[in-house]
Amino acid sequence: MHEDVEKILVSEEEIKEICKRLGEEISRDYADKKLLLVSVLKGAVVFMADIMRNITCECEIDFMAVSSYSNSKTTGVVKFKKDLDIDPDGRDILIIEDILDSGITLSYLKNVLLQRNAASIKICAFLDKPANRQADITADYVGKVVPDEFVVGYGLDYNEKYRNLPYVGALSPKVYADK
């Protein structure tokens, strides 16, 4: 375990089980549709890679980059950094997100895609942290609900660090407390 991590919240083995379970559910639900998986960069890219290997129905992938965070706090203002390359018009979209926290970013993103005439939009969140929800949004597929702690690993970061940890852990407050 990394020295800045207080405890492991989701083990490597549990991550594999979550991806398998969600992949099976998504494959069943989208069996007769043209699924477009949209990864929210950068954090969800690891989850997207694992979950798409567990999806058996036809699917394409694309990426968006949006953020409402600065260091460890949400700013409440969503910044759009990268748009889709595939036109969402008429597509069944599944947004792949690393963590549903405040909900501000995902709510914004879902509204943008609805305005672009997506046929359907659902959300698959690896982690759900309902304690911090500020927007009225829920995930359609949830890997695991986590407590109100700052989590890192498996794509999740703090100042671009810890993304490469093979598990999800609670970051020690000493790392970010005075920032």
In this structure, what token pair is assigned to residue 16? 């594999």
Catalytic residue, chosen from 98, 101, 128, 157, is: 101
- Asked whether the beta carbons of 67 and 42 are under 8 A apart, the reply is no
Cite the beta strand spans of 71-150 per DSSP E: 73-82, 92-100, 120-128, 141-145
Query: Is 101 noted as a catalytic residue in this protein?
Result: yes
What are the strands of the beta sheet with 120-128, ordered from one edge?
73-82, 59-70, 35-41, 92-100, 120-128, 141-145
132: helix, coil or strand? Answer: helix
Residues designated as active site? 101
